[in-house]
A and B are shown apart, each in its own frame.
Chain A
Amino acid sequence: MACEEYREIIDKFVENLATEEEKEELEGHMRTCGECRSEVEDISRMLKAFNSFESVELPDDLMSLLHERLLKISAESAKKEKNIYAFSFIKKLAAIMYYFFRMNSKVLAAGICAVLISFFLGRFSALPASFKYGINTAGEPQMIKTQTRGDSSAKMPAPTISEQNSAGQNTVKYNKTQPDDGSGSEKRLAAAINKPQSETENKQHVLQDEKDVKQDAAQEIQREGQENIQKDNPVSASGDVAVRSTELTRSSRNGMAKEYASAKSATQYKFQQESGPTAAAAPSPLSKSGGTCDILVRVDDFDKKVVFAISLAHQMGGDIQKAEIIRDNGDGSRTAYIVMKIPLERADSALEQIEALGEMEKSCEAAQSETTTQESETMIMQISIIEKNTTQTPLN
């Protein structure tokens, strides 16, 4: 066995790791081989010298230097980690999006299409109605007219559509298509009241201007009537007729026409109150009468004269249509507005007796009876009895 083959046993022998057999074998070889014996002795001395190496202590400043460097590195790494985390998050997100896009490209395309379609649908649904029907705004009135012509009781066009039209178009259209059986309006009531007057206007040229004023005033005051009328008081009256109410007005009108307007508005208001809207919409009784006569008398003893005038109607075989006393706050004077229906043959006599009550400021001619027909042989007398007052201003 060559010396090279004993080296492994020598390494074990010097460390006391060799078995007894290895020891005996090596000791037998060393008796004949001085080289191996010298090697074992030298290595054993080396190991003995290594074992005698003392442990060196750490330098004093090593740990303090290390501590400072570690703190510095820790702070820097904390900063880097933040940046790295943000960068890695973006990187991961991009990777996920890329992967998702690659794997679900069809789904994404479908989603984008759905979003685009919903967007354009939303845009078109927000367009005006004219774009929906594919016609321009000029075609709208025709469509609405067709609807209203087809059915007289058709509803009004929808507000949204009506808003598209101009104000002028709406007004004309509404007036044209307005059914005749609608509820009564103030305008038509005023027209009904004025209808007999218009029939006799050729014969009452003097009073025409005042009637016009009355008509206008009636329309104006009718809007304010409810505010002006403050209380309703029953007034005792002799005979069968009673003055139903005394209405105070705050009107400060000075002219006669305005007094008439006040009286007329009050009359219309009472009609509306007593008979309701349907009665107001119905044709006025005056329009069916054979003729009308407006009389204006200024009297001294107001109460007596009013009672007399009312009793006169019964004496003449007629009846009272309306009786009201209106107090004008402006000068404190009262005005009794009496509407009575007198048989035509006794109209002249009644007119004479009324004229005898006081100063006749406006009278009518009995010739109005010529407008009467066979179906109406009475005369409607609209009598205004005004209480004389020193402060009262003369009528125009």
Chain B
Amino acid sequence: MSEEKELIRMARMGDVCAFERLVSGYEKKVYNTAYRFFDNVEDAKDVTQEIIIKIFTSLKHFREGSSFSTWLYRIAVNTCIDFSRKKKEDFLPLQEGFDENASGIIGEYFFQPEAAAESKELKKALGDAIQALPEDQRICVVLRDIQGFSYMEIGNILNCSQGTVKSRISRGRRTLRELLLKMELFNEKNV
């Protein structure tokens, strides 16, 4: 902890090496979160760079009493959400078109269930279905179900209550299930 404080102090003074040492344990998790959030390497790469730079430039605003990891993930989550919203605005016609055809593509894909192994195809379908979730539900599902954050941590990162987090996660899971049912990945007979 004392080392983290010293690295923060040095990074605030512009020491890039100290900053890189400071964020060395978080880079991979941030990148994976972004990757699962966007399901896209390029976007994850750009967003991760933007997140790290934002952390470096915003380090002077960090309050020493709070948790650095929580502060870091908050920046990462907010950056991901902002990036996704901006991207959605930029490609709104395409996105709408994609949404119209998405069921067809996914439906076409899932009309051939025997073509791929179930687990692999399910992960792929889940990755695609996550992108259809609203940002608040998506980030909660990613943080909880993929990255394994606790409800409390997610509440701290998103600066909201655990009940809100649970609600978002619950709604997100059911939305994903609806999507997978439409994709006929899940069997209707079970219903």
Question: Which of the segments A55-63, A101-109, A254-262, A269-277 contacts the partner chain?
Answer: A55-63
Question: Which of the segments B25-33, B83-91, B97-105 contacts the partner chain?
Answer: B25-33
Q: Which residues of A contact B45 (CB under 8 A)?
A: 59, 62
Q: Are A34 and B190 in contact (CB-based, < 8 A)?
A: yes
Question: Which of the segments A39-47, A86-94, A127-135, A309-317 contacts the partner chain?
Answer: A39-47
Closest residue on chain B to residue A59 by CB atoms: B45
Q: Are B177 and A46 in contact (CB-based, < 8 A)?
A: yes
Residues 138-191 of B contacting A (Cβ, < 8 Å): 145-146, 166, 169-170, 173-174, 176-177, 180-181, 186, 190-191
Q: Which residues of B contact A73 (CB under 8 A)?
A: 53, 56-57
Closest residue on chain A to residue B171 by CB atoms: A7
Residues 5-34 of B contacting A (Cβ, < 8 Å): 14, 16, 19-20, 27-28, 31-32
Q: Are A38 and B190 in contact (CB-based, < 8 A)?
A: yes
Q: Which residues of B contact A7 (CB under 8 A)?
A: 170, 174
Q: Which residues of B contact A57 (CB under 8 A)?
A: 28
Residues 4-57 of A contacting B (Cβ, < 8 Å): 7-8, 11, 34-35, 37-39, 41-43, 45-47, 49-50, 52-53, 55-57
Q: Which residues of A contact B145 (CB under 8 A)?
A: 46-47, 50
Q: Please count how many residues in chain B sit with their CB below 8 Å of the partner chain's CB atoms.
A: 36
Closest residue on chain B to residue A49 by CB atoms: B122
Contact of B180 among A11, A46, A66, A78 (CB under 8 A): A46
| A371: min CB distance to chain B, Å | 115
Chain B interface helix/strand/loop/mixed? helix
| A29: min CB distance to chain B, Å | 15
Asked whether B35 is an interface residue with its Cβ less than 8 Å from the other chain, the reply is: yes
Asked whether A187 is an interface residue with its Cβ less than 8 Å from the other chain, the reply is: no
Beyond A37-B190, A42-B190, A47-B145, whether A62 also contacts B177 by CB under 8 A is no
Chain A interface helix/strand/loop/mixed? helix
| B54: min CB distance to chain A, Å | 10
Asked whether A67 is an interface residue with its Cβ less than 8 Å from the other chain, the reply is: yes
Contact of B123 among A42, A52, A74 (CB under 8 A): A52
Q: Which residues of B contact A77 (CB under 8 A)?
A: 14, 57
Q: In the assembly, what is the distance between CA of A49 and CA of B127, in Å? A: 10
Q: In the assembly, what is the distance between CA of A52 and CA of B170, in Å? A: 20
Closest residue on chain A to residue B122 by CB atoms: A49
Beyond A67-B16, A67-B20, whether A53 also contacts B146 by CB under 8 A is yes
Q: Which residues of B contact A52 (CB under 8 A)?
A: 119, 123
8 contacts between A and B (CB under 8 A): A41-B190, A43-B174, A46-B122, A49-B119, A59-B41, A62-B48, A66-B53, A67-B20
Counting from the closest, the 10 A-B pairs by CB-CB distance are A38-B190, A50-B145, A74-B14, A38-B191, A70-B16, A49-B122, A42-B186, A42-B177, A50-B146, A49-B123
